[in-house]
Each structure stands twice: as C-alpha cells, then as structure tokens.
Amino acid sequence: NAGVTQTPKFQVLKTGQSMTLQCAQDMNHEYMSWYRQDPGMGLRLIHYSVGAGITDQGEVPNGYNVSRSTTEDFPLRLLSAAPSQTSVYFCASSRLAGSRNEQFFGPGTRLTVL
Amino acid sequence: DAKTTQPPSMDCAEGRAANLPCNHSTISGNEYVYWYRQIHSQGPQYIIHGLKNNETNEMASLIITEDRKSSTLILPHATLRDTAVYYCIVRAYSGGGADGLTFGKGTHLIIQP
C-alpha cells in the first residue's frame, strides 16, 4: 500500500492564482481531512469528509473548497491564493469505526504564495 | 475535546528512557488519550492511545493516572531518530463523527548523543 499520497510536494503561487492540492489514499478509509501547519504551530483542520459525496468545514475553511467524488481522492482547491495561505498542507485519512481512529498522514505540500 | 498541557521542550540522552508528560485535567469519561509525533517536515505519525488502562506497543508505553487527569508517554530506549515534536491529544471516540484532531504545540523532544 502507498498509504496517503500528496502532490505536488512544493508549489509557489502568485496572489490571486488558483490551484488544487491532490490527496489520495489506497486504504479504503471513509474519513479524509486536510490540515494546515504554520511555522511553530500545531496542525489546524481545514475541511473533512466522512465519505464520498459528504464534506464539512473544519476550524479554518475560508478560502478553500473540497469535494469527495470517490473514496480514494480528496482534493483541496485554493480559489484565489493569498499570502496568508502560505503554509504546509497535510492530508490525512482514517477509518471511522473503532476507538483506534488512527489517522494516517501524507508527506505534505509546501505552498508559498507571493 | 479536553485541553492538554505539555512542556514545550525536553532533552533526553540517547539510550535512556524518555518520559513525556501531559496534563488533561478536564478529560471526560468517554475521551481517549492519543499520542502522535512529527519528525521534522514530515506528516504526524500515530504512536499509541489509551482510555484508562496502561498501554504498550512496539513504539512506546502510555501510563494514565488513575484519575485520568494526566498521562506519560514513555519511549524506553530513545534513539536519535526519536527527536521530534510529540503531541498529546484528548479526543472522544466518535465512530460517526469527524471533527479532526486538535493539535497544540506539543513537546519538542531532543535526543542528545
């Protein structure tokens, strides 16, 4: 299993540009989520999904859109990039059932908005 | 989810046991204690979790006090590769819920050679 994969690893955008961060998992997990991590900070939840066709907002959703058309994929779209969105973005997935609720994280996408 | 308090940083000598404390005095009866770590620039990695009994796996041991208001993560024989930020997270099991993990700033554990 590849686990959770993210592309691209690095990206530089200009203010106002749009882009999509890709996330995929091959573990048949129902739950997927996006976090951002700013320097010296813990991770903050952006959006999450409990299954195909179902998404919801996390702590910091503004400026981001998500969709979940398949179990495997959960792309994050930046509609009009702003310097405040410069961050490292992590995608995670897990099963919904069971107390373990272990979340598996991808390697991250490092985004710089100029 | 209950709030957790961790020291910002700790040092430990290589080969010794690393004991990382966490306070969670407002923990509820249905909340679990989870530990994750984040090695520099990588995604967080699950370590262990528990409800009220002590737990051990191939990576670490988790000791939860009887009143469940604090816990300690123990890495029995720390190596340089264990240098990372360690997050203590309290979360209710919610099989249908998905409010994510609440990460604080964690403890930066530095293993000294």
The pLDDT value given to residue B97: 47
Are B43 and A33 within 8 A, CB to CB? no
CA distances from A33 to A66, B8, B59 (A): 10, 26, 25
Is B1 within 8 Å of B102 (Cβ atoms)?
yes
Residues of A with CB below 8 A from B36's CB?
A: 103
Taking 90 as the threshold, does the pLDDT of residue B65 lie above it? yes
Taking 70 as the threshold, does the pLDDT of residue B98 lie above it? no
Q: For chains A and B, what is the number of CB pairs under 8 angstroms?
A: 67
The pLDDT value given to residue B56: 96
The pLDDT value given to residue B101: 81
- How many angstroms separate the CA atoms of A23 and A74, rounded? 5
Q: Give all strands (DSSP E) within B29-104, no chain letters.
A: 31-38, 45-50, 55-56, 61-64, 70-75, 84-92
CA distances from B82 to A23, B12, B64 (A): 27, 10, 21
Nearest CB to A58 within list B93, B100, B106: B100
Render pLDDT for B68-86 as a digit per residue (tens, 0 to 9). 999 999 999 999 999 999 9
Nearest CB to A107 within list B42, B46, B91: B42
* Partners of residue A13 on adjacent β-strands: A113
- pLDDT in tens for each of the 114 residues of chain A? 789 999 999 999 999 999 999 999 999 999 999 999 998 788 999 999 989 999 999 989 999 999 999 999 999 999 999 999 999 999 999 887 665 668 899 999 999 999
